[in-house]
Structure 1
Amino acid sequence: MKNVLICASMLGSMLAFSQKKDSAATKSIDEVIINTYVKKDSEYSNKMPLKAIENPQVYSSVDKIILENQGIYTVDDAFKNITGLQTMWTSNGRAGDGGAYVSLRGFVSANSLRNGVLGAVTGTIDAINLEKIEVLKGPSGTLFGSLLTSYGGVINRVTKKPYETFGGNINLSGGSYDTYRAAVDINTPLTQDKKLLFRLNSAYTNEGTFQTEGFRRNLAIAPSLSYKPTDRLSINLDMELFQMKNMSDQTFFFYSGDYLKKVSNIKDLNLDYKNSYLGKDLTNTGRSINFFGQVNYKISNSITSTTNFSSSSSYSNGFMPYLYFMGTDPNMMYRSDQSTRDSKKRSINFQQNFNGDFRIGNLRNRVVVGFDYLRVNNNQNFYDINGFDKGPDGTSVPVPLHQPGFNYTNFNGSTLQEKYNAIAGNETPYIIKGIQENYAVYISNVLNITNNLNVLMALRVDSFNNHPGIIGSANSKETEQFKQTFFSPKLGIVYEVIKDKVSLFGNYQNSFKNLTFYTDANKVIRTPDPEQANQVEGGIKTNLFNGKVSSTFSYYNIKVKDVLRNIPSEGNANAQIQDGTIVSRGVELEINAYLVKGFTAIAGFSYNDSKYTKADESVLDLRPNTSGSPYLANLYASYQFLDGRLKGLGFGVGGNYASENKIYNAKDGVFSLPSYVVLNANAYYDAKKFRIGVKVDNFTNQHYWIGYTTANPQRLINAVGTVTYKF
């Protein structure tokens, strides 16, 4: 409470000072902001241009300049700048589910949107063509549907666009753990009248590991073409290719067992942090190819049409080894693998929006009316070696965790392939196969009742069609087709206490999820109703000193209902009932500040309290093991000389804090990852024709773990230097 009062006092002081500032003086500050300020306005959060101060939804954004200054070249690494977001699982390249997963407001989320439409990538997402990352907080099903969102929020990548002059850069990087990278950004007009423009962004990256085995090799190719035949019509075509060959990051799973009576934290296991406990050649190849098309047409001065088409295709083939604990002895671990073979997922998305900005009487209306079609075709194949090590009777046996000289490298690509060859023809793969379709129409209107008060009202009508398919073993019975229609509303209110400077906001947001079949206590197969989440949120936004200090403080309460939960009964261990509930509530504070000439700070704090309020007795009133750490904080501060002999020289320091993360949380035991503080630093010199920079991540050499019901050790201290030539 004391901290909240201090923040309120600071806010009041800044507001009073802001009102005294001369507008000409603040305008002069605008002119010297070269590359240090994070812009907050978005065209995508409500599918219309809307200032942050007048938007009833909370969202965070980080632009390419911050990423360049910090030496960041992946979207996953950029997430450390987003308030309330915690990385839980790094990408492994598997088709369908291989992308990075994060926690937002207590719920698992993934990167699935690009410029507001489908753009899923199941491997490492290179930031080479990234203009900005936007994270829209809370359930967002009304405008973005169910298949591309989570209850915690939506992650949207805004990409670079072609421009009218020739230019670009070549970038070379190298550093710790056999890291080397080459990247290029080339832009050129293709016609003399500059109506046809082309841009190519591409990068190749190799990364080693701080452990005994592991690597990542990523190729990104992203061409884009824009054509503007008239002042009213523009056409944009884009493609993304992300190809990845890697050995998956070391992953420990923790299942229930008596060992939980002896250990409750990853530190209790005394693991060798630098030992991968794996051998060579346990590799996977993954590929994502996305195509995008957009046609913009200005029908009149107040109405525009936007037609979007996107297709997304992912493929993977290879191993995914993992280690796990169960039984009674925490000094023993099991080794296993879940491979994919010729695994594929394909999706297409068509979206038509009409945007209008007009007045009815004295009331301004900003409206979007849209139609959305999404088709997802799954053909994923998972193969298991359930227990790499076998006893004389053929059952899985563990291996010692601390035995000196034990040969962990015998778990390698050759020996694992031999085991798969030995059971060829008798395998029982787990298959996800089938087609899902969504048809939806939506309307959203921001109505300015007064110059300071606006109300957002939105509604989606969503029709879901689940075609027959297979989820389970290859001999599983094909599921039946079913259709569902769902109405998803949204309401937001913003009152600008001081126009364009301070606003109070509140929102009601909804999202939903179409579930698959379940079996009740009487062994009857049932089609569940859509699970849904409803959020109520309120807070304050500021935009002071002519936009140099912006902040958002909010409180939210999300209730998820109609959750499937287990009710094991005699003769039916898999029986379920659809009456479970989860409640997630919390606070978030984010500040972006350009405090003095050349100095920028990004800071954030979040607290989340999630729990099952109606669930299996084993987890009732407990925090879900996928909710991440309750407390998160982020900070980045930088300074750049904008005048004098040192003009272009800049440096920054920042870090992240996460509290304890309970990755196994049930009545029979708890297993946690410890809290951590990770600090990073960077320096650069930016001139007209070249740029040099260096970053040092985790410079305190912190041993820390992330997890999505898992434990994954993270990189120790590492440094990367970069040289860029501009043309």
Structure 2
Amino acid sequence: MKNQITCLLFLTLTFLGYSQNNDVSGVVNNSAFQAIENVNVVLKNTTTGTETDAQGKFNLENIEAGSYTLSFSFLGYKTKEVQISVMANQNIDLGVITLYEGNEILNEVVLYGGEGNKFSRKKTAYVSKLPLKDIENTQVYSTITTSLLESQVITNFDDALKNATGVDKLWSSTGRGGDGAGYYSLRGFSVQPQLVNGLPGLTNGTINSANIERIEVIKGPSATLFGNAVSSYGGLINVVTKKPFAGTGGELSFTSGSYGLNQIVGDFNTALDKEKNIYFRLNTSFSRSESFQDAGFNQTFFVAPSLSYKVNNKLSFSFYGEITQAEQTNPMFLFLNRGAPSIASNLDELGYNNKLSFTSNDITLLNPTQNYRVEMDYKLSDQWQSQTLLSRSSTSTKGYYSYLYDLGGNPVDTFSRYINKQNANTQTTDIQQNFIGNFKVLGLRNRMVVGLDYLNTTSVDNGSSYVYYGSVQADGTTEAGYPLSTSGIDAALAGATVNNLKSEYNIYSAYASDVLNITDAFSAMVGIRLDHFDNKGDLSNDEDDYDQTTFSPKFGLMFQPIQDKLSIFANYQNGFTNVAPTLVGDPSAGPQTLMTFDPEQANQLEFGVKTNLFSNRLNATVSYYDIKVKDQVITDPDSPFNKIQGGEVISRGFEIEVNANPVDGLNIRAGYSNNFSETTESDNVNILNRRPLEAGPENLYNFWANYEFQSGLLEGFGAGLGFNGASEQFAINYANTGDFILPSYTIANASLFYQANKYRISLKLNNAFNKEYYKGWTTITPQLPRAVIANFTYKF
């Protein structure tokens, strides 16, 4: 901790050395002489910008001397531009700027501040369903921006998430029906990326990186605003897609690299009418990559059309679509034995040959996915806005899935291969109606969202049962007579049963959240959700139906000793899980009875500080959290035929994230997290007082620095350097099996690039020292060795 504080102080002193005294300030009013809040104030052709406060005031700090065009834009008003000249050591007060109503589309303006802290995001409308700045939000979240992804030449979602403090991969996406887009550990609990633009968006494959505007990792239980279906006790992951903007342009990009990586991406945006009220954007990509092992590949075609239509200065519509056609060999997981001791407790004892895939390129899965979203925004008054949202998702799996399971007890561990034929589909429909207000009561400012939410999820499984299909040893010795071909597997599956399952559940919710400014420096956030879960279960069996109703509260306090620069916060957040009824009672003593349970609950207490210093050149968040999960349903210690609620898990830790722009051209991102998790109450002695496997490593860290020369002969040239790593973690951690430990690791990465006006050329080296490392969650999955990636992007 001492080292982190020393580093933060060093960065602070560095910033002070580079600060300037040129400020530009003023006030923005409408034609009725009323202050307009949240007006975008941007120096054109730069990344310097800010927003007006509740009094319409704005202030741009530390502007270099020169001539600029200052742009003022706000939804429902005509954009206004003002020419300014900034002299050295001069503060400019522009007085009152008046905006007039008009019919105009506004793109989502990204405000960085300073000369461009491109690795941070000052404001988002998704985290709290309100347009709150990070420094006034009592919840902690990490934002992975497009600029950060570009500087690291990111081609996949897993690499992108390595930039989020406290996030670590547990499972790759399997492609199997219902498994989703992989699993990650976050604050001691597993989580999947299931939100797109704040709405449910599912996939059975990996998430395509071509259409990502940014990724928001929201920390802690978040059921109050998002429900439990798309969040976990550790938090949630929201993918924000690229949207239409006012203008014409786009880019073409080609990336090629090690292990057969080839990816081409296209992005085009234009107006569709002369009045420029309708804008259309199309993102599309094709990619293919091979495995570093002896077999395996992933091939994806992706297209994402989006449309923005401004009807008038009060009404607008938006449409977003994502269509993916993917084919892959499923990543081969080595499942460790969860019920009996294994002779191996680490990779050396296992003798695992990680160059072998234990599969074939003939055994593949198809994962077609479609996500659609429609949004209608209507300005009811100067204080209230209506937002109507509809999303539809459909994701399918067809093909062959296999895995290896440890039999245990052999001199060299033997794994049995099990295989089935997948044929599954999951569809979701989500409808939300939000009313968003910004008003005063008794002189106190309120920013409020009141919403209704309906979610329907329907799943169909017509896949086969699993059958045994030979055995292998970890060193590569394979049992003969089991050909890895579709004909051989089809013959083995000829006698397998075929599922005919269709299940469904509905969630009806109402929620409200209010940010109350008690003073300019002190605010409180209060939220509550009423959630009714209606589970139809297997539609052919009425006996598994059940429903539950849950309240989920949320509360936060925020104090800003230095307005918009330093905040101290604390929060209480809640999450829950619906628990299905179960039969209890000794069946030999008579008929069993059905017992119902309360929903499982998770409660978090957290406090910390956030900074936004030196015109957004230094953003830091330091926080400590304590999460307790209670009311877990466990087996009664006195009767194996009875269930009781009383299991408890604790997860506590601290996180540090720093985004810095100390000098022009240099952007830095660094993060560190420490997590302690333990099952504190359970009748299952095999897990009692042990770290849950989904908690991942105790320590995680990441760093990336990117510098671009700003002038001279090397102008446009730059380089990036960074690393990410983790402490050792348990793949197995049960009293009856012993431990299997995956080793700690540190992975170094580097890049070189040249950035011109119309194009960018990049060269990236991943895993520079060719470190052998693994991920796992009762599994062992080797990760990618050293790889070289080259990219060329042309912008028009």
TM-score for both structures, normalised by structure 1: 0.93
Aligned equivalent of 1:664:
732
SS in structure 1 at match of 2:469: coil
Question: Could you tell me how far apart the structure 2 residues matched to 1:22 and 1:663 are?
Answer: 55
Q: Aligned letter for 1:66?
A: L
Aligned equivalent of 1:393:
none
Alpha-carbon spacing, 1:617–1:520, altered in 2? closer, same or farther (3 Å): farther
Q: Paired residue for 1:692, among 739, 754, 761?
A: 761
Q: Paired residue for 1:633, among 679, 701, 705?
A: 701
Question: Could you tell me how far apart the structure 1 residues matched to 2:13 and 2:121 are?
Answer: 23
Alpha-carbon spacing, 1:428–1:415, altered in 2? closer, same or farther (3 Å): same
1:557 aligns with 2:626: yes
How do residues 220-259 of structure 1 correspond to structure 2 at under 5 angstroms? 220-256=302-338, 259=341
Aligned equivalent of 2:239:
157
Question: Could you tell me how far apart the structure 2 residues matched to 1:408 and 1:606 are?
Answer: 49
Aligned equivalent of 2:170:
88
Q: Indicate conservation of the 8 Å contact 2:19/2:62, yes or no.
A: no
Alpha-carbon spacing, 1:5–1:79, altered in 2? closer, same or farther (3 Å): closer
1:530 aligns with 2:599: yes
**Higher mean displacement: 643-652 or 226-235:** 643-652
Question: Could you tell me how far apart the structure 1 residues matched to 2:550 and 2:15 are?
Answer: 44
Alpha-carbon spacing, 1:432–1:562, altered in 2? closer, same or farther (3 Å): farther
1:577 aligns with 2:644: yes
Question: Could you tell me how far apart the structure 2 residues matched to 1:15 and 1:641 are?
Answer: 18
- 1:18-47 deviation line (CA, Å, top 9, x unaligned): 999664762339788468442232211110
Aligned equivalent of 1:518:
582
Q: Indicate conservation of the 8 Å contact 2:223/2:231, yes or no.
A: yes
Q: Indicate conservation of the 8 Å contact 1:257/1:328, yes or no.
A: no
Alpha-carbon spacing, 1:175–1:13, altered in 2? closer, same or farther (3 Å): closer
Q: Aligned letter for 1:581?
A: E
- 1:45-64 deviation line (CA, Å, top 9, x unaligned): 11001111111000000111
Aligned equivalent of 2:159:
77
Q: Indicate conservation of the 8 Å contact 1:337/1:384, yes or no.
A: no
Q: Indicate conservation of the 8 Å contact 2:546/2:581, yes or no.
A: no
Question: Could you tell me how far apart the structure 2 residues matched to 1:183 and 1:35 are?
Answer: 26
Q: Indicate conservation of the 8 Å contact 1:27/1:546, yes or no.
A: no
How do residues 116-131 of structure 1 correspond to structure 2 at under 5 angstroms? 116-131=198-213
Question: Could you tell me how far apart the structure 1 residues matched to 2:308 and 2:560 are?
Answer: 38
Provide the alpha-carbon RMSD of the alignment. 2.4
Q: Paired residue for 2:62, among 26, 33, 38?
A: 26
Alpha-carbon spacing, 1:458–1:263, altered in 2? closer, same or farther (3 Å): same
Q: Paired residue for 1:357, among 422, 438, 445?
A: 438
Alpha-carbon spacing, 1:478–1:8, altered in 2? closer, same or farther (3 Å): same
1:197 aligns with 2:279: yes
Alpha-carbon spacing, 1:31–1:355, altered in 2? closer, same or farther (3 Å): closer
Question: Could you tell me how far apart the structure 2 residues matched to 1:306 and 1:477 are?
Answer: 38
Q: Aligned letter for 2:158?
A: D
Q: Aligned letter for 1:699?
A: A
SS in structure 2 at match of 1:143: helix
Aligned equivalent of 1:609:
676
How do residues 237-316 of structure 1 correspond to structure 2 at under 5 angstroms? 237-256=319-338, 259-260=341-342, 262-316=343-397
Q: Aligned letter for 2:725?
A: Y
Deviation at 1:12, TM superposition (A): 7.5
1:509 aligns with 2:590: no
Aligned equivalent of 1:385:
466
Q: Paired residue for 1:485, among 528, 532, 549?
A: 549
Q: Indicate conservation of the 8 Å contact 2:181/2:206, yes or no.
A: yes
Q: Indicate conservation of the 8 Å contact 1:124/1:242, yes or no.
A: no
Deviation at 1:630, TM superposition (A): 0.8
Alpha-carbon spacing, 1:561–1:399, altered in 2? closer, same or farther (3 Å): same
Aligned equivalent of 1:395:
none
Q: Indicate conservation of the 8 Å contact 1:353/1:370, yes or no.
A: yes
Q: Which has the higher contact order (CA 8 A, sep 6+)?
A: 1
Alpha-carbon spacing, 1:420–1:506, altered in 2? closer, same or farther (3 Å): same
1:713 aligns with 2:786: no
Q: Aligned letter for 2:691?
A: R
Q: Aligned letter for 1:83?
A: T
Question: Could you tell me how far apart the structure 2 residues matched to 1:7 and 1:697 are?
Answer: 25
Question: Could you tell me how far apart the structure 1 residues matched to 2:331 and 2:468 are?
Answer: 19
1:342 aligns with 2:423: yes
Q: Paired residue for 2:293, among 196, 206, 211?
A: 211
- 1:387-420 deviation line (CA, Å, top 9, x unaligned): 212xxxxxxxx44333668769834433222200
Q: Indicate conservation of the 8 Å contact 1:257/1:326, yes or no.
A: no
Question: Could you tell me how far apart the structure 2 residues matched to 1:216 and 1:458 are?
Answer: 43
Question: Could you tell me how far apart the structure 2 residues matched to 1:570 and 1:11 are?
Answer: 60
Aligned equivalent of 2:104:
none
Q: Paired residue for 1:600, among 667, 674, 686?
A: 667
Deviation at 1:278, TM superposition (A): 2.5
Q: Aligned letter for 1:589?
A: I
Identity of aligned residues (%): 38
Question: Could you tell me how far apart the structure 1 residues matched to 2:606 and 2:10 are?
Answer: 23
Aligned equivalent of 2:70:
none
Question: Could you tell me how far apart the structure 2 residues matched to 1:496 and 1:409 are?
Answer: 67
SS in structure 2 at match of 1:629: coil
1:415 aligns with 2:488: yes
Deviation at 1:463, TM superposition (A): 1.0
Alpha-carbon spacing, 1:235–1:405, altered in 2? closer, same or farther (3 Å): closer
Question: Could you tell me how far apart the structure 2 residues matched to 1:281 and 1:565 are?
Answer: 43
Q: Paired residue for 1:440, among 509, 513, 517?
A: 509
Q: Indicate conservation of the 8 Å contact 2:14/2:662, yes or no.
A: no
SS in structure 1 at match of 2:695: coil
**Higher mean displacement: 194-203 or 676-685:** 676-685
Task: Show structure 1 runs of 5+ residues with no match.
Answer: 390-397, 471-475
Alpha-carbon spacing, 1:403–1:370, altered in 2? closer, same or farther (3 Å): closer
Q: Indicate conservation of the 8 Å contact 1:123/1:242, yes or no.
A: no
Deviation at 1:236, TM superposition (A): 0.3
SS in structure 1 at match of 2:360: coil
Alpha-carbon spacing, 1:416–1:33, altered in 2? closer, same or farther (3 Å): farther
Question: Could you tell me how far apart the structure 2 residues matched to 1:187 and 1:35 are?
Answer: 25
Q: Indicate conservation of the 8 Å contact 2:408/2:414, yes or no.
A: no
Question: Could you tell me how far apart the structure 2 residues matched to 1:105 and 1:210 are?
Answer: 31
1:58 aligns with 2:94: no
Q: Indicate conservation of the 8 Å contact 2:418/2:467, yes or no.
A: yes
Deviation at 1:102, TM superposition (A): 0.5
Alpha-carbon spacing, 1:568–1:469, altered in 2? closer, same or farther (3 Å): farther
Aligned equivalent of 2:617:
548
TM-score for both structures, normalised by structure 2: 0.85
Aligned equivalent of 1:2:
2
- 1:272-327 deviation line (CA, Å, top 9, x unaligned): 12111233412111111011100011111111111000011111111121112133
Alpha-carbon spacing, 1:672–1:405, altered in 2? closer, same or farther (3 Å): closer
Q: Aligned letter for 2:645?
A: Q
Question: Could you tell me how far apart the structure 2 residues matched to 1:610 and 1:302 are?
Answer: 44
Q: Aligned letter for 1:486?
A: T
Q: Aligned letter for 1:363?
A: L
- 1:105-140 deviation line (CA, Å, top 9, x unaligned): 010101111111112222111121211110110000
Q: Indicate conservation of the 8 Å contact 1:323/1:334, yes or no.
A: yes
Q: Indicate conservation of the 8 Å contact 1:321/1:335, yes or no.
A: no
Q: Paired residue for 1:467, among 524, 536, 539?
A: 536
Matched residues, number = 707
Question: Could you tell me how far apart the structure 2 residues matched to 1:691 and 1:94 are?
Answer: 37
1:186 aligns with 2:222: no
Question: Could you tell me how far apart the structure 2 residues matched to 1:270 and 1:370 are?
Answer: 55
Task: Show structure 2 runs of 5+ residues with no match.
Answer: 25-60, 66-111, 587-591
Q: Indicate conservation of the 8 Å contact 1:94/1:340, yes or no.
A: no
Question: Could you tell me how far apart the structure 1 residues matched to 2:176 and 2:519 are?
Answer: 51
Aligned equivalent of 1:497:
561
**Higher mean displacement: 663-672 or 2-11:** 2-11
Deviation at 1:386, TM superposition (A): 3.9
Question: Could you tell me how far apart the structure 2 residues matched to 1:178 and 1:2 are?
Answer: 44
Alpha-carbon spacing, 1:18–1:699, altered in 2? closer, same or farther (3 Å): closer
Q: Indicate conservation of the 8 Å contact 1:531/1:560, yes or no.
A: yes
